[in-house]
Structure 1
Amino acid sequence: MTAPLLALDALEPLVLQLAAALRARRWRLATAESCTGGLVAAACTAVAGSSDWFERGFVTYSNEAKVESLGVPAALIARYGAVSREVALAMADGVLRQAPADLALGVTGIAGPGGAVPGKPVGTVWLGLAARGQAARAELLQLGGDRASIRAQTVQQALQRLLEAARP
């Protein structure tokens, strides 16, 4: 028997802090995930009462899904690649266009074991964060480990960045 992909219980204290920060601001969160496949949304919705602050999650794994669901320009993906600062920002901005949320996350990366390209090794992840009325920002993560570890680290880092963004 294999270990669970992500220990949601271990993330609960962080999610509860995020929930409190969002509730304090009367904000709602929405996510767009590629390499994490909805794990950030799963961590958020594992907590009872999350419907008070979690609006929705998009799993936009393919480039087509990023374009169709979030309005990420195909030319942006062609120019910079799906795993890029530009696409992470466009994903977060797209979430705010598509959902009645105040805070948005876009996650795109290479969890492995394949998919690496020159300059973008396995473990390259971009987080895009956008809050309504504020300039979006992005952060590059260079993570190590196997696929499950990279995805778990990405979820942890994404939740931490969301908490920082949600705090007044």
Structure 2
Amino acid sequence: LILPKYHDKGVSCINQILDKILPVGERNNSLFILYNLLLQNKNEKDHSKKIVIIKNQSLSKPLTDREIDNLFRKGYNLKCSTIRERLPFIKCDRCKKFRKGLDEMVGSILIKNIRELPKITNTERGILCMLDVYFSGEKVSVNRIAEITNMNYQTIKKAIDNLRGKGILK
């Protein structure tokens, strides 16, 4: 697959999507995410569309023109957790952005509050771990945490309030 040059700023999921032979069930999500990642990494709209169209044409069963047009309707700022959730084949350990986050873990909530960990509940520890590792510092709602962890909304809300009360979360 020969593509025009593009900006990826070390975000390896762009290359992983471009390199993967996308089966029928993964085409829509993969190409939608590819388009939005290209936009997020400072590629022009038309240039990003061109790359997605070339990738689509390389598939054994490409999306229709109408399906492709639907991918381009609106740009979205996708978070890493959303990409990992929708495209399980993505390997974040290849990503400079993700690796940088790991290198900066000294600034993580868990590490900063290591002495406080024995004083908090398992639920509170679990939520801190999700915020640090799964959501990697993203702004996230209580509803989203409840959805991902399959935990009760009120349990999570209470734990977050307790963590705020202890000064662990802002």
State the TM-score bracket (shorter-chain normalisation). Answer: under 0.3
More helix per residue: 1 or 2?
2
The structure with the largest alpha-carbon Rg is 2
Scaled by the length of structure 1, the TM-score of the pair is 0.26
